[in-house]
Amino acid sequence: SQQGEEDPQALSIQEGENATMNCSYKTSINNLQWYRQNSGRGLVHLILIRSNEREKHSGRLRVTLDTSKKSSSLLITASRAADTASYFCATGRDDKIIFGKGTRLHILP
């Protein structure tokens, strides 16, 4: 059952630029997480934001959450080649987590 939906599906930017990905969801949530997946590998947890939080930072990552619009954004500042990956949002409600289909980010040299 699909909950979070990332936008855009794919994004290519120049190294050094900022990358923004969005996630929209349909029902109320307790928290929202972002994960990264490098090609052919497992997912790695990046950051979690709770439903009572509006913004959270971790290094070059900034996540916002707007529960009234049922949306979240992930901003990666000063992108690097190593940021090339797929990024997934995962919405949490009770003890369940549902993953979106992901945004493929490609950092151009």
- Out of 19, 21, 23, 43, name the contact with another protein by CB under 8 A: 43
Q: Counting contacts by CB under 8 A, is residue 42 touching another protein?
A: yes
Of residues 75 through 104, those in contact with another protein by CB under 8 A are 88, 90, 92, 95, 97, 99-102
Query: Please, what is the Cα angle at 39 between 24 and 99, to 5 degrees?
Result: 25
Burial (Cβ within 10 Å: 0-12, 13-18, ≥19) of residue 29: buried
The site for another protein, by CB under 8 A, has a size of 22
Binding site for another protein (CB under 8 A): 1-2, 30-31, 33, 35, 40-45, 48, 88, 90, 92, 95, 97, 99-102
